[in-house]
Amino acid sequence: MTQKSFNPLPYLLILPTLIFILLFTVYPTFQVLRESQVYFHPNRPERQRDTDLNLPGIESETRSIRGPYNVGFAYFRAMFNPSTTEGEIFYQVMGNTLRYTIVTVPVSILLAFLFALLVNRTVQGIGLARVALFYPTMLPMVSAATIWLFFFTPEYGLWNAALRFFGYRGAENWVINRDLALYGLMIVAIWKNAGYFMIFYLAGLQGLPDDIFEAADLDGATWLTKIMKITLPLLRRTTLFITVIAIIGAFQNIDHALILTNELVTGEADLLLYEIYQQRFVLQNYGFANALTVVMITLLLLFTIVNFLLSERSDDQ
Amino acid sequence: MKRSILVVLVLLLLGANIISAQETVTVEIYFPISVDSPITEILNGYAEAYMSENDGVEIVWSFEGGYGDVKNRLLTVAEGGGDVPALAIMLATDIYDLRNAEVIQSLDAFASEDYLSDFVAAWLANSYYDFDGDGTGELYSVPFQRSTVLLYYNADLLADAGLDVPTNWEELATTAQALTTDEREGILIPNSWPYWLFQPFAAGSGQNIVSDSDTEVFFNNDDVVEALNFWVALYEEYDATPDGVQSNWGDAPGAFLDGSAAMILHSSGSLRTIIDNADFEFGVSGIPGQDGGSFTVTGGGNLYMSADIDDATAQAAWDFVEWLTAPERTVDWSINAGYYNTRESGFELDAWTAFSEENPQVDEARATIDSAVREFSVQSLGDIRNILHAQILAVLNGETDAASAMEQAQTEAESILSIFE
């Protein structure tokens, strides 16, 4: 026998983790997938009615407006059909989430990098600057949002006062105006996250070898050339890592929306996770909430796989 | 030696028997309040007082953040098959959602005619729901911590300007206009969560936005549209209040106290704070109607009883409800926590007489209750409220006009409500 005998020890060692993952991640995921095919409005009375439920592909027949009963993939068909209520909400929410991600992720990463360059120096009092920039990170999102609610106050709020100083004369109701509310959320997220990402860049910067920069200095490289040609390429891994956690974070943000815009603007500032909360708890449209959750899980899973493949590939190089 | 052990054993068994014979019933109550509030002390005091009078009952308050948290927790616990509390304080307006979700039970079997008739009638407006469709509503909640919308006015500023307390829309607008200066707003109307403060205006115009029905709304009614136009006129025509949407619910009482607002519309729940802190003469009233009269709307939370609790717990819970809503307690609760005394006979107690002599504003507030209309509550409240709010905010943001916005709200609301008819 050339084959090695089966050694159960490694499997035994990962068993507790495996049970945990199965119980708290895999099982709920399949549960959500199953329940996304169930029409259920527990806040409605049991009343029989001739209804097509306004869900595409559902035959009109007499049934309860409450549920629960199986509708197959009707919620998914509805979501991808913008002429249905669900579709309208889905497209709007995905558009909001996309805009939110596209703005908050690059801006907070850029700011984080600049902050890191700024505080990666040995000047007196630099500790204070580091604390000041890192401070928003330590606040819970709820506190951060509450502070910003005050900043956003029309007339005397700090944010509006500052904008007026620079000549801004537009609307000041940042958390209630439909055109501004989403930007309000972005501003809070950037303010909070930039300091957090800065820490990763700072750690990366301090790990860079000095001799390369000395060599570059001897060659007469400018500050900008050194940043673009040496610092950034060497911090590629850090940037990739930050980008991943920033994007995942953008999908997970909900706390500040609950404080700032909760039910005050309808639709224009709703992010995916916030909409799931609204549908599930406030409107009690269980099937739609579960279908949205499936979309969110799928997106995050896809993103994780792509990221995994990318980082595996760069490891091989 | 052996004998003494035997005696001890027998005694132990006897003791165990006695204890199990008078098994304690636990009445758990979900209550919406942050933990660091003096309210918790009052409630714990009530529980201790009740338990010392009644053996075999344990009252356990379970404090939650807000009304929404209590509702979500109860729904989640019930759905997951967990131990539901016997009682919960939740918004009076959530009655349809809660009954439809089968997490609360009818109180008809417990509440006597005599008991109910002593409640000030306005507080029961959101307590009945004809769930079984037999034509008469079943009782699902008992009034507990209730409030109304009040107009708070700075009497010193009015006197200085030689003005009287406004009695109709025209006077409200001109008075507010006259009291507006560079440093002071004539009137503040926090309207970012608009339906509640809007209802007294709609009613004062001639039509509340809801009736007693659970499927009827009156958004596009001419009087309701007129009320919304009056809000807009307050800043567009009279410059008596800041423009557009005002997200200043939390700031308004402070602005009133420091003199930067001459009048505010706010919950009666702020009365206590304002009485304690105002260094000027002030008064409260209902909201003047278009052509006179005074109007307000009810608000706040009621006591609900969970479905799926055993009979002994239900009875123990009801006994506590009756004790908690006895006139002595409702007056004490009113004095200490700032909510309304909900029992007619409470107003005759010495404690109330003394309290209202010392604080005339609480009697002024009490005078508004009879003009209080039913708070906005229909089936699918979350959806319908979103629809109404979106349109009111669009009007205040200057994106559309009141008539077409309310027409739109009516159409959208009816398309949802029609499935319940």
> Taking CB atoms and an 8 Å limit, are B389 and A153 in contact across chains?
no
DSSP state of B142: E
Question: Are residues B392 and B228 in contact, defined by beta-carbon separation less than 8 angstroms?
Answer: yes
Phi, psi of B299 (to 5 degrees): -160, 175
How confident is the model over A104-116, as pLDDT tens digits?
Answer: 999 999 999 999 9
Closest CB from A43, A49, A176 relative to B100? A43
Best probe of the B interface among A31, A44, A274, A280, by most B CBs < 10 A, is: A44
Classify the complex by whether its ipTM is higher than 0.85, answering yes or no. Answer: no
pLDDT band at A3 (very low <50, low <70, confident <90, very high): low
Picking from A209, A197, A202, the residue whose alpha carbon sits closest to that of residue A243 is A197
Supply the mean pLDDT for chain A.
Answer: 88
Question: Are residues B145 and B272 in contact, defined by beta-carbon separation less than 8 angstroms?
Answer: no
> Taking CB atoms and an 8 Å limit, are A263 and B193 in contact across chains?
yes
Residues of A within 8 A of B244 (CB-CB) are 173
> Taking CB atoms and an 8 Å limit, are A49 and B193 in contact across chains?
no
Residues linked to residue B152 through DSSP beta bridges, in sequence order: B264, B284
Please tell me the distance in Å from B411's CA to the nearest CA on chain A.
15
Q: Which pLDDT value is given to residue B21?
A: 46
Q: Which pLDDT value is given to residue B249?
A: 86
Residues of A within 8 A of B385 (CB-CB) are 263
Q: Which pLDDT value is given to residue B404?
A: 97
Which pairing describes strands B141-154 and B294-305: parallel, antiparallel, or unpaired? Answer: antiparallel
Residues of A within 8 A of B77 (CB-CB) are none
Q: Does A279 touch chain B (CB under 8 A)?
A: no
Phi, psi of B291 (to 5 degrees): -115, 40
Q: Which residue has the tokens 């990366």?
A: A204
Interatomic CA distance for residues A17 and A13, integer angstroms: 8
Mean pLDDT by 10 residues, chain B (421 residues): 57 51 85 78 95 95 91 93 95 96 96 96 96 91 96 97 96 97 94 94 97 95 98 96 85 94 95 92 96 96 96 96 97 92 96 95 94 96 93 91 97 92 80
Interatomic CA distance for residues B198 and B191, integer angstroms: 8
Question: Are residues B199 and B375 in contact, defined by beta-carbon separation less than 8 angstroms?
Answer: yes
From residue A211, alpha-carbon distances to A163, A216, A226, A274 in Å are 44, 9, 13, 49
- What residue ranges do the domains of chain B occupy? 23-146+299-373, 153-296+378-420
Q: Which residue has the tokens 């902050």?
A: A115
> Taking CB atoms and an 8 Å limit, are A263 and B97 in contact across chains?
no
Instruction: Kindly give the interhelix angle for A181-206 and A126-138, rounded to the nearest 10 degrees.
Output: 130
Please tell me the distance in Å from B180's CA to the nearest CA on chain A.
16
Q: Which pLDDT value is given to residue B23?
A: 78
> Taking CB atoms and an 8 Å limit, are B193 and A264 in contact across chains?
yes
Closest CB from B97, B393, B420 relative to A176? B393
3-state SS record for A148-187 = HHHHCCCCCCHHHHHHHHCCCCCCCCCCCCCCCHHHHHHH
Contacts of A124 (CB under 8 A, 6+ apart): none
Interatomic CA distance for residues A86 and A72, integer angstroms: 15
> Taking CB atoms and an 8 Å limit, are A42 and B75 in contact across chains?
yes
Picking from B33, B136, B130, the residue whose alpha carbon sits closest to that of residue B90 is B33
Chain A, 151-170: which have a CB under 8 Å from a chain B CB? 153-155
Instruction: Report the range out of A117-126, A134-143, B395-404 with the highest average pLDDT.
Output: B395-404
Q: Does B192 touch chain A (CB under 8 A)?
A: yes
Give the class (CATH, top level) of A89-316. Answer: mainly alpha
Tokens of B46: 């009530």
Q: Is the dihedral of CA B416, B229, B285, B168 positive or negative?
A: negative
Please tell me the distance in Å from A2's CA to the nearest CA on chain B.
53
pTM of the model: 0.88
The domain made up of B23-146+299-373 has a fold known as: D-Maltodextrin-Binding Protein; domain 2 (3.40.190)
Averaged pLDDT, A136-145:
89
Domain B23-146+299-373 identical in fold to domain B153-296+378-420? yes
pLDDT at A159 over 60: yes
Q: B153-296+378-420: which CATH number, 3.40.50.970, 3.40.80.10, 3.40.190.10, 3.40.50.11540?
A: 3.40.190.10
pLDDT at A46 over 50: yes
> Taking CB atoms and an 8 Å limit, are B382 and A154 in contact across chains?
no
Please tell me the distance in Å from B318's CA to the nearest CA on chain A.
25
DSSP line for B223-278: HHHHHHHHHHHHHHTS--S-SS----TTTHHHHHHTTSEEEEEEEGGGHHHHHHH-
Interatomic CA distance for residues B237 and A69, integer angstroms: 54
Interatomic CA distance for residues A149 and A136, integer angstroms: 15
Interatomic CA distance for residues A308 and A287, integer angstroms: 31
Q: Which pLDDT value is given to residue B10?
A: 56
Radius of gyration of chain A (CA): 25
Q: Does A146 touch chain B (CB under 8 A)?
A: no
Please tell me the distance in Å from B210's CA to the nearest CA on chain A.
19
